[in-house]
Structure formats: C-alpha cells, structure tokens
Amino acid sequence: TGNVEFSIKKGNEEGYFSLDSQSGDISLTAPLDFEDKEEHNLVVEVKAGEATSEAKVTIRVVDVNDHSPVFPRALHETQITEEDDRHLPKTILTQVTATDKDGGAYGQLKYSVSGDGVYFNGTKSSFAIDEETGAIHLLKPLDRDPPNGKSQWRLKVKVTDGEFDAYTAVHVNLKDINDNAPFFPLSTMDATISENTPQGKTHF
C-alpha cells in the first residue's frame, strides 16, 4: 500500500480545522459557532505515491443555548387617556421586545406580563401580552382617580428562551380627564357670626 498523505483541499478557508497528514484525523483549531455557520463542508485529499483520491466531509455544528435574552432598556413607558373604552382590546405598546443571539429553538422567545391590573385567578385583567411579539394590549378602560384608580400602572414583562430569563419594567401613565363634577359634602351648612363683625371677614 505504501505511505499515504492526507490534506484538506477545500472548505477550510477560515482555518477552523487541522488534519493530521499521516492519520487523517481532523481536529479543531478554534471553537465553532452555530449562529455563524451550521455546517462546514470539507474536501479531503489522500495521496499514495502518484495516486490521489478525494472525499467530502460534512461537519454539522450542534446548537447549544449559550446566550440569554436581553431587553434593550430596563424601562418602557407609554401614556393613554383614562376611561377610554374605544376599540378595545387595543395595542398600547409594541416596543417591548428582547433579542437573543441564539439561533434555532434557543432563539425562540416567549413573553409574559404581571403587575397592576393583571390577574390569574379568573378575574378579568386590564392588560395582556402577545406571547410571541411582546406587544402589550389594553383589555378594559383604566381609572386614574382614587380609591381604585392610579395615575401610573406598573407592569413587569418577562421573556424566556426556555432556560434563561430577562425582565423589563413597563409604566402605563394615565392622562387625566374631567370626569368628576365638583360637589359639596353637605347639602346644608350652618355658620355663626358675631354682630359687628368687620366687613370682609371670611373666617367665622
């Protein structure tokens, strides 16, 4: 049979692989990244004297979850008008999205929301979130005035890739409207005043 010599003829332009010229063993010279390239195709040549032969070698990279999802900022804010019941349910915020540098299944993200006005016990929530896009929807009108209302509704959005989680805060600020008429607490009020009280006196 004689001595044989192996070499990589094509597919190793980036230099990720080395090949033992005597044994034909292929080894890595640097880590491979699934997100950069899922498959590497090499052409290996073997030479024995004057005779040569080529073989194609396919190296498939197995994905691992090596990146966590990341929100671009820690706080998202929006403003809506209190007690606005038009076109419900409606989207009030679409920018609550995270990124994940993983590809494949590990790059698929799922969103959930908790906080003010979000209930899980059967009570109708004021907010919901699209599990795939992170868009936040208003489900029913919000009140700004006490005792049950608030000027700012605070939510927390969670995103997960199935293993790693990330969080961001969402503040929904309510624009006030004139929805409460002034009123006197009592229909009849009594006051006493001494005779000869100076003109213009207002406290008695």
Check residue 53 and give left, alpha or beta (phi > 0: left; psi -120 to 50: alpha): beta
The pLDDT tens digits for 149-186 are 899 999 999 999 999 999 999 999 999 765 555 666 76
Average pLDDT of the chain to the nearest whole number: 88
How far is 62 from 39, CA to CA, in rounded Å?
Answer: 9
155 by Cβ neighbours in 10 Å (0-12 / 13-18 / 19+) ranks as buried
Residue 62 pLDDT > 70 = yes
pLDDT at 1: 47
pLDDT at 184: 64
How far is 102 from 66, CA to CA, in rounded Å?
Answer: 7
Q: Whose CA is closest to 64, among 44, 35, 85, 93?
A: 35
Using a pLDDT cut of 90, give the percent of the chain over it.
Answer: 69
pTM of the model: 0.68
**Strand partners of residue 137:** 91, 128
Out of 73-82, 123-132, 183-192, pick the least confident: 183-192
Q: Kindly indicate the confidence band of residue 2, based on its pLDDT and cuts at 50, 70 and 90.
A: low
pLDDT at 200: 67
Check residue 196 and give left, alpha or beta (phi > 0: left; psi -120 to 50: alpha): left
Span 175-202, mean pLDDT?
Answer: 69
What is the DSSP secondary structure assignment for residue 70, as one 8-state letter? Answer: B
Span 90-107, mean pLDDT?
Answer: 92
pLDDT at 152: 96
